[in-house]
Amino acid sequence: MSKNDGAIKELLKTVEEQKKGLGKKPRGQWITNGVFKYGDGRDYFNINTVTDFTKLAEALGFLFSQSVNFDKACTRLDIVKEHEFKWDGYTVAEWEEDFVTRIAIVAYDKKKKKLDATTAKLNTLVSPDAKTAMEIDEIRAMLDRG
């Protein structure tokens, strides 16, 4: 076995532990309809496809300003708000929760992809003897589990 095989095995073990630490992938179950539309509806995005988080921050900022303006308008008109401000039928908190969920999904995917790439790279560096030993260890572990 190569002198680097021990270090590679340790790194593989570390990567595997980090993969387990990821837990389950967050699910994209939206509270909203998943489509955020500005004003006239011509400028919109689907939450499922967003990878640029500044887009989500801009939308949330837009919602904050709309909500503040709604509150000011109610105060100026001296009317009692009968409901919380909603945009396209959903509260600011509901939109925010969906944005946070999307960020968690993308972050999970990015981390998992990085760990998978690291595993693949490390596997290319392992000597043939070490690969055989690792396969034997894996088979033993499978047999021990029943």
Give the other-Cβ count within 10 Å of 103's Cβ.
16
CB 88 within 8 A of CB 94: no
Residue 124, pLDDT score: 87
Distances (CA, A) of 33 to 36, 71, 110, 141: 8, 24, 25, 46
Give the other-Cβ count within 10 Å of 62's Cβ.
16
The 3-state DSSP class for residue 146 equals coil
Residue 60, pLDDT score: 98
Q: For residue range 84-122, what is the model confidence (pLDDT) as tens digits? A: 999 999 999 999 999 999 999 999 999 999 999 999 999
Q: What angle do CA 5, 6, 9 make, to 5 degrees?
A: 85
pLDDT confidence of 1, banded at 50, 70, 90?
Answer: low
- Rounded-to-integer distance, Cα 11 and Cα 73, Å: 59
Pairing of strands 44-46, 86-87: unpaired
Q: For residue range 38-79, what is the model confidence (pLDDT) as tens digits? A: 987 789 999 999 999 999 999 999 999 999 999 999 999 999
